[in-house]
């Protein structure tokens, strides 16, 4: 069945008289995820969350369209991990600027970027684009941070961990290697405490901080945890899409 709110699936016959007011752009990354998860993990996550959330909003009557997912992200810290792709932040700015130009010209003035990859950093880019496109309402959602992960998962982590393994077990089980292949996702911490505590930041050279490219032990991951987490996220983001389409974005503050 063709979903009318998914741009990649719909067609000119449906679209020539369409009138969307919110466009959603999922943006992921292509990179190693421990030994056992697919390189497109972040792409599958962003796409599935955008599509399900779009469905929820569409069924409430929101005129939302989900654009095709951008598959490459900022991977400046993974230069020596084989076939990890990298788009520089300045390239991302240019890509996003071109996409916003189309939307602005065609009168779709509300926009959500749905990000699933930690290395992508949208706030400075969206701040700058906001100056260039004063008619556009631009926003970003970190789609894996919508709910508190501690309510769903037992072991902390931030890459190819229990959370991501559970999600992919739910979304693409056929692409997850069997459990004996899962690495421990053990992270080597910076010797300078400020960086480990998180109040100072420096790029983490991936191959120096993890053996298997994972950060966070995936051992307790299950399909059921992934499904619950996914559904909660999509419920909240679906409501957000609906709220944005309903809102007068010129008059948001009470
Ligand atoms: Zn990921």
pLDDT in tens, 17-31: 999 999 999 999 999
Any idea which architecture 21-245 has in CATH?
3-Layer(aba) Sandwich (3.40)
d(CA 234, CA 56): 8
What pLDDT score was predicted for residue 6? 98
Which of the four pLDDT bands, split at 50, 70 and 90, describes residue 132? very high
Kindly report whether the global pTM for this prediction surpasses the value 0.85.
yes
Question: Which tokens belong to 152?
Answer: 């769903």
- The predicted model gives 240-246 an average pLDDT of 98
Which of the four pLDDT bands, split at 50, 70 and 90, describes residue 166? very high
What pLDDT score was predicted for residue 183? 97
Report strand pairing: 64-66 vs 110-115.
unpaired
Cα-Cα-Cα-Cα dihedral sign, residues 125, 187, 228, 180: positive
| Ligand 1 midpoint to CA 228 (Å) | 18
- Going from the C-alpha of 111 to that of each of 30, 95, 221, the distances in angstroms are 23, 15, 33
Instruction: Provide CB contacts within 8 A for 247, sequence distance 6+.
Output: none
Domain ranges for the chain: 21-245
User: Tokens 């405490």 belong to which residue?
Assistant: 193
Task: Single out the residue of 223, 243, 192 nearest to residue 62, CA to CA.
Answer: 243
Question: Which tokens belong to 41?
Answer: 């993990």
| Ligand 1 midpoint to CA 77 (Å) | 14
Instruction: Read off φ and ψ for residue 212, nearest 5 degrees.
Output: -110, 10
- The predicted model gives 164-176 an average pLDDT of 98
What pLDDT score was predicted for residue 107? 97
- The predicted model gives 105-112 an average pLDDT of 98
What pLDDT score was predicted for residue 31? 98
Cα dihedral value 194, 195, 201, 207, nearest 10: 170
| Ligand 1 midpoint to CA 33 (Å) | 7
Average pLDDT, the chain: 97
Which of the four pLDDT bands, split at 50, 70 and 90, describes residue 47? very high
- The predicted model gives 219-233 an average pLDDT of 98
| Ligand 1 midpoint to CA 121 (Å) | 14
| Ligand 1 midpoint to CA 116 (Å) | 7
């Amino acid at each position: 069945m063709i979903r009318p709110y998914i741009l990649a699936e719909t067609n000119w016959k449906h679209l020539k008289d369409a009138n969307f007011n919110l466009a959603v752009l999922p943006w992921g990354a292509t990179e190693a995820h421990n030994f056992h998860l697919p390189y497109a993990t972040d792409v599958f996550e962003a796409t599935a969350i955008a599509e399900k959330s779009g469905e929820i909003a569409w069924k409430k009557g929101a005129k939302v369209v989900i654009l095709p997912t951008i598959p490459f992200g900022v991977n400046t810290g993974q230069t020596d991990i084989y076939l990890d792709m990298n788009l520089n932040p300045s390239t991302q700015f240019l890509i996003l600027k071109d996409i916003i130009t189309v939307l602005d010209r065609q009168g779709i003035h509300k926009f959500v970027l749905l990000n699933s990859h930690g290395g992508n950093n949208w706030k400075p880019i969206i701040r700058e684009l906001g100056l260039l496109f004063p008619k556009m309402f631009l926003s970003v959602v970190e789609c894996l941070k919508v709910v508190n992960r501690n309510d769903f998962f037992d072991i902390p982590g931030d890459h190819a961990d229990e959370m991501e393994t559970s999600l992919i077990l739910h979304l693409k089980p056929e692409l997850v290697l069997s459990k004996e292949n899962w690495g421990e996702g053990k992270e080597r911490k910076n010797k300078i405490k400020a960086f480990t505590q998180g109040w100072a930041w420096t790029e983490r050279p991936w191959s120096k901080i993890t053996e298997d490219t994972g950060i966070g032990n995936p051992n307790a991951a299950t399909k059921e945890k992934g499904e619950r987490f996914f559904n909660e996220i999509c419920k909240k983001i679906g409501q957000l899409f609906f709220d944005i389409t309903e809102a007068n974005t010129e008059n948001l503050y009470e």
